[in-house]
Structure 1
Amino acid sequence: MSDALLAAYDSLLFDLDGTVYHGARVISGAPEVIGEARAAGTAVRFVTNNASKAPAAVAEHLNGMGIDAQPDEVHTSSQAAARVLAERLPAGAHVLVVGAQALCDEVEAVGLRPVRENSDEVKAVVQGHSPDTGWANLAEACIAIRGGVLWVASNVDKTLPAERGLLPGNGSMVAALRTATDQEPVVAGKPEAPLMHTAAHGKALVVGDRLDTDIAGAVAAGLDALVVLTGVDTPASLIAAVPAERARFLTADITGLRNSAEETLIAPKPGWEIAAEQGELAVRSTGGSDATDLLRALCATAWETGVTGVKPLDDTAEAALNELGLIR
């Protein structure tokens, strides 16, 4: 396994929701693969845009799923948001927090004073995900932001993967304040580069499921990225990805880290013939049958030509495209 992706980098930066777990349910193979990476001498980091849990709580959650994790290996968007605030505000400044207690704790840890109600002393609003955020919280923040204070969002993920499906994420709440204030927040977490730079050790590979946060963050930070299909983004959205959201590698799930860079690289693949014809990607099997391999080849051709529609030219191609959900 010396040529496996999990051993080819100095560090692996794992997203959590949609990549390692769905809420309380671990994604199959994640504990074993992460353990194999550690055994190969690769540093493991967990990089999450979820600002509702402290690093120690995230590590505890991971350990409960059979994944070895230490608090200092966890990097959260609440930590990133607190650093942004500390760089721009004087010590002791009041910060109105819209989010969980974990975000309050990070604000306090950098020498600022977290509060829950607006006043003349409030110098900034910081917003992170919390399932308890309601209209009253948004109203306090709205008044402060309209008053001209600094507004920092831990992240702008529109959705949050869970066992029941996609739920509203912090970005949905940010959108409400954006509409109410006509203002834009400073974004601290992914896809901004600082969170990735803080977590990276040596040559790093980002592993995630979201193009607009995980992969865009890797691109912004100048890091290689592996996209998996266990979370938010789909084969169709991967094919249509803009340059700022394009991964280097693609696997069906996290266990693909056991494969080599050559196997997982997004590029033309033996066994599949793809040509852009009359506004569609015409797909023919020349011995290939693996749908994920086809998707790698489709992404490579679509990104080169700008053509995103697909059509099969034989039964094998039709079966693989159906498996990918690209035709009905």
Structure 2
Amino acid sequence: MSDPIEGIIFDIDGTVARGRQVLPGALETLAELRRRDIRFAFFTNDNSKPIRAWVDRLAGMGIDAAPGEIVTSALVAAEVMAEVHPESPILAIGDVGLLEALRAKKLDLVAADDVDRATAVVMGRDPGFDQERLNTVCKAIWNGAEFFATNYDPRLPVAGGFVPATGPMVKAVAYATGIEPTVTGKPSPWSGRMAMRILGIAPALGLVVGDQLATDIAMGRNAGMQTVLVLTGTADAADAAAAPSEHRPDAIIDGIADLVPWLDGL
């Protein structure tokens, strides 16, 4: 018999929504969880948008979420950098979400023309990533800067298919430098700890619901939470069956609409 669920961490893209379109059953499921006083929060490995943009995006789909109920990999990266490099010059490669999160921690961010000062690099999804930026970040790492990345996700589910995520950009740098990054977002221990802090519950009473085995499910398992894979995103049942044990979910459901019946069956 599993422990009762008191709090849930939801991935967003591929789990609750696809692009700006809410997935079937999401609104009803979230409303029922609130009615039952089951706490929940949203955790996305996206690092490009600030929290206020996520609040607005969810609201536009009919989902009412407070800023304190949303975590991004940018927030986790900023917390990690403040912990391990609080006074170090940092080269940040990413969009407004990552840059704002780092500035909020009052970290020393260096410009590209001052890259020789950088002792750490933190990299997220950058819509302007090009050969020049590749050269800049590689130079910092070749000079000895420690390499961090918000995540290694290969692709994002959007309306009509997928788009490349942070991973391909990070992989280009890792391949060129021969240095693998320390990943701060899902499934890292830092992410699991932040998820637990937001829910305010013991890990055994928490549940992670997501569509990606190597991030959502792995984070939940690493943190000691229960895990459910939904089949509305990047992984299917065959992927789950073939996955290593640390990426294998406790349960698989077709989509978020099936979550409440699954909870009732525990």
Counterpart of 1:204 in structure 2 is 206
State the alpha-carbon separation in 2 of the partners of residues 132 and 35 from structure 1: 38
Query: Of the candidates 162, 166, 173, which is equivalent to residue 169 of structure 2?
Result: 173
Greater RCO, CA 8 A, separation 6+: 2
Q: Please list, as runs of the form range in 1=range in 2, the aligned pairs for 1:133-282 lying within 5 A after superposition.
A: 133-200=129-196, 201=199, 202=201, 203-261=205-263, 263=265
State the alpha-carbon separation in 2 of the partners of residues 138 and 169 from structure 1: 16
Deviations 1:99-150 (A, max 9, x none): 1011111111112133440422222111111333222222210110111101
Q: Which has the larger radius of gyration?
A: 1
The 3-state SS of whatever aligns with 1:33 is helix
RMSD: 1.8
Moved over 4 A (4+): none
Find out whether 1:76 has 2:78 as its counterpart: no
CA contact (8 A) 1:35 1:67 kept: no
- Residue 121 of structure 2 aligns to which amino acid in structure 1? V
**TM-score of the aligned structures, taking structure 1 as reference length:** 0.75
Find out whether 1:114 has 2:109 as its counterpart: yes
Counterpart of 1:30 in structure 2 is 26
Deviation at 1:262, TM superposition (A): 7.4
In structure 1, list runs of 5 or more residues that go unmatched: 266-328
State the alpha-carbon separation in 1 of the partners of residues 17 and 108 from structure 2: 33
Deviation at 1:164, TM superposition (A): 2.6
Tell me the number of residue pairs that the alignment of Structure 1 and Structure 2 aligns.
258
Deviations 1:29-77 (A, max 9, x none): 1112111111110111001100011112111100110011111111111
CA contact (8 A) 1:95 1:122 kept: yes
State the alpha-carbon separation in 2 of the partners of residues 78 and 47 from structure 1: 11
State the alpha-carbon separation in 2 of the partners of residues 138 and 49 from structure 1: 22
State the alpha-carbon separation in 2 of the partners of residues 116 and 62 from structure 1: 33
Q: Would you tell me which structure has more helix in proportion to its own residues?
A: 2
State the alpha-carbon separation in 2 of the partners of residues 29 and 68 from structure 1: 15
The 3-state SS of whatever aligns with 2:122 is strand
CA contact (8 A) 1:75 1:195 kept: no
- Residue 210 of structure 1 aligns to which amino acid in structure 2? Q
Find out whether 1:97 has 2:92 as its counterpart: yes
Find out whether 1:87 has 2:78 as its counterpart: no
State the alpha-carbon separation in 1 of the partners of residues 22 and 147 from structure 2: 34
In structure 2, list runs of 5 or more residues that go unmatched: none
**TM-score of the aligned structures, taking structure 2 as reference length:** 0.92
State the alpha-carbon separation in 2 of the partners of residues 174 and 58 from structure 1: 23
Deviation at 1:196, TM superposition (A): 2.2
State the alpha-carbon separation in 2 of the partners of residues 227 and 86 from structure 1: 32
Query: Of the candidates 37, 42, 57, which is equivalent to residue 41 of structure 1?
Result: 37
Q: Please list, as runs of the form range in 1=range in 2, the aligned pairs for 1:274-293 lying within 5 A after superposition.
A: none
Counterpart of 1:59 in structure 2 is 55
- Residue 55 of structure 2 aligns to which amino acid in structure 1? A
